[in-house]
Amino acid sequence: MSTAQATKNCITLKGSAQIIVEYLKYGINSILFQRGIYPAENFDNTQQYGLTILMSKDPKIVSFLQNVLTQTEEWLAKNMINKISMVITNAHTKEVLECWDFKMQAEAGDGVEAGDPTKQTSSKQLSRIQNEIRDVMRQISATVSYLPLLDCICTFDVMIHTLQNTEIPAQWNETGAVFIQNAQAVQLRSFSTGLQKVDTVVNYKMSS
């Protein structure tokens, strides 16, 4: 019985990447809804982390996020990402109004995969990780009360900040740093899988 229990609570780097990518999927959709980037009728309710989260049902957005997050998961499973940025820009002027940074940091874990001492594992309970993620998701919803109103038509993009020497897929573009004038930053809670820690920070333009 004890060995089955041990296996059950054993998160590998691949498992950690899946947990984080799931958070990014729900987090980004929640931001798109909360910040009014697209009309409310383009979203459907879903239950996750004990919360009701609104998910875009626009096929273009669903497919775009799936592409980005599939690649993210692959790179995260090799600890090749240090940050994912969701950038919200004014569709007409292209000015960056808001940038949500999801910063990734590798952690040591507390075990190793059977027979492979180079592969770390974490015995952190999934329910604990999901409770930590739920706290962050609640904070994302609450940011609407203090972030400036986005009163123009906006678009968004997702940038993956990889470690050097990462092979970039052919159809992807390399891009420079994002700059926001008069930026303010708000640090949200972090969560950890035991192998990777994720900090969420929103940088936004102060209303002039």
- pLDDT reported for residue 2: 36
Of the pLDDT bands very low, low, confident and very high (cuts 50, 70, 90), residue 171 is low
Q: Which one is predicted more confidently, 164 or 4?
A: 164
**Is-contact 122 11, C-beta < 8 A?**
yes
Of the pLDDT bands very low, low, confident and very high (cuts 50, 70, 90), residue 23 is very high
Q: Residue 107 is encoded by which pair of tokens? A: 């952690």
Residues 16, 22, 28, 30, CA torsion sign: negative
Q: Which pTM was predicted?
A: 0.90
Sequence-distant (6+) residues with CB within 8 A of 124 are 9, 11, 192, 193, 194
- pLDDT reported for residue 155: 96
Mean pLDDT for the stretch of residues 116-120: 81
Where along the chain do its domains lie?
11-112+120-205
| CA-based nearest residue to 106, from 141, 128, 80 | 80
- pLDDT reported for residue 113: 80
- pLDDT reported for residue 140: 96
Of the pLDDT bands very low, low, confident and very high (cuts 50, 70, 90), residue 144 is confident
Q: Which one is predicted more confidently, 170 or 109?
A: 109
Q: Residue 101 is encoded by which pair of tokens? A: 């940074």
Q: What is the CATH number of domain 11-112+120-205?
A: 3.30.900.10
Length of the chain: 208
Lowest mean pLDDT among 60-74, 85-99, 105-119, 140-154: 105-119
Mean pLDDT for the stretch of residues 181-185: 86
Of the pLDDT bands very low, low, confident and very high (cuts 50, 70, 90), residue 8 is low
Rg (CA), the chain: 18
